[in-house]
Amino acid sequence: MSIDPIILGHNQFIGVDHFSQERARSRTDYFNDSDRILNVIRDFYDLGGTGIMLSTHPKTKYILDAIRSDSTLAKNMNIYPLIPYAQGYVRKANEVGILGMLKDTLEPASTSTKLKIMLKGGINALNQDFFSILSTFIDVEMLPFNGLNVKAIFLHNVLTDLALSMNSPEIFRYFNNYVKENYNAIPAYGTMNFVKLVESFDEWGLDKPLVMCSFNKAGFQMNPSKEECEKCLSQYDVDVLAMSTLASGYLKPKEAYEYLFSLPNIESVVVGVSTKEHANETFGLIKDYMSKV
């Protein structure tokens, strides 16, 4: 099973910008209208794109509702959940308490599913069964995506890198197996430590990972260095979903993608676009460079 070569990112929809808070606020205001989000997704689909990445940010519910409202998108779009939305859990727990947070999180589920998850989670907590708690956590995070085409499930870099720092192959092995067996999806990982993750998987004898990480000509967020990441990419069998390809707007698309597709093992690229014109330019360039690889 392979992933879409071009995946629509969601940062622009939820107001994330690594360089400019002002630009982030402007995007948040602009995309408060869910019709504008749906128009971008439709423009992306009309250009041949069939994959979108979404975290479990509160706004995701409205994005998914918009996709479900369009029968063509609901049938043909591949969804790439990025779990968990850690900031959301912390904020919600502070606002309404732990029980309120659980109630809001479980809202999309049927009554029977809620009981099943809560019973399972309660028993697991009593037993202090870490891996079963992890499975419950995954199930809760995946509730909003029920009934849609989930192609791969990405563990957020916060948890990936935490597990990596614990030097625990068991956590990654469990996540791999659980995602495959219960969601028939590709287990995948976001990381800010590409080299360490790939080398660790190789050392532990785990299947080659699908990794979402930064690759760009400027070396932005490439750890421990641009040179080390490029070296690792060429030496190991790994599939990469490249993000931050424009270095958060520092690079022009042409120089960015000329560099990116000169590298080996770039499986796919995730990009954020806000307008039809931006989508036309970006996807046209990417498709052109991909055709030459």
Whether residues 130 and 29 fall in one domain: yes
The answer to the question of residue 239 being in a domain is yes
The pLDDT of residue 110 is 52
What average pLDDT score do residues 105-124 get?
A: 50
Q: Give 151-199 pLDDT, tens digit per residue.
A: 999 999 988 998 999 998 999 999 999 999 999 999 999 999 999 999 9
Whether residues 226 and 133 fall in one domain: no
The answer to the question of residue 220 being in a domain is yes
Q: pLDDT above 90 covers what percent of the chain? A: 55
Whether residues 194 and 251 fall in one domain: yes
Cα of 249 vs its chain's centroid, Å: 20
Whether residues 144 and 172 fall in one domain: no
Quote the pTM value: 0.84
The answer to the question of residue 91 being in a domain is yes
The answer to the question of residue 262 being in a domain is yes
Whether residues 90 and 223 fall in one domain: no
Please give the C-alpha separations between residue 110 and each of 79, 106, 116, 122, in angstroms, as whole numbers: 21, 9, 10, 18
- The phi and psi torsions of 83 (rounded to 5 degrees) equal -120, 145
Number of structural domains (the chain) is 2
Whether residues 186 and 127 fall in one domain: no
In the predicted structure, residue 82 carries a pLDDT above the cut 80? yes
Angle (nearest 5°) at CA 10 between 77 and 41: 40
The answer to the question of residue 288 being in a domain is no
Q: Examine the fold and report which residue of 88, 120, 150 is the final residue of a domain before the chain moves on.
A: 150
The answer to the question of residue 3 being in a domain is no
The answer to the question of residue 92 being in a domain is yes
Distance CA 224, CA 207 (A): 23
Q: pLDDT above 70 covers what percent of the chain? A: 78
Q: Which residue has the higher pLDDT, 12 or 161?
A: 161
Whether residues 212 and 247 fall in one domain: yes
In the predicted structure, residue 40 carries a pLDDT above the cut 80? yes
Whether residues 135 and 245 fall in one domain: no
Whether residues 177 and 133 fall in one domain: no
Give the burial class of 42: count Cβ atoms within 10 A of its Cβ; 0-12 exposed, 13-18 middle, 19 or more buried. Answer: middle
Which residue segment(s) compose the domain that 265 sits in? 166-273
Whether residues 207 and 260 fall in one domain: yes
Longest distance between any two alpha carbons in the chain, whole Å: 56
Contacts of 207 (CB under 8 A, 6+ apart): 176, 201
Q: Which long-range contacts (CB under 8 A, 24 or more apart) does 58-62 make?
A: 58/88, 59/13, 59/14, 59/31, 60/10, 60/14, 60/85, 60/144, 61/108, 61/144, 62/34, 62/37
The answer to the question of residue 183 being in a domain is yes
In the predicted structure, residue 126 carries a pLDDT above the cut 50? no
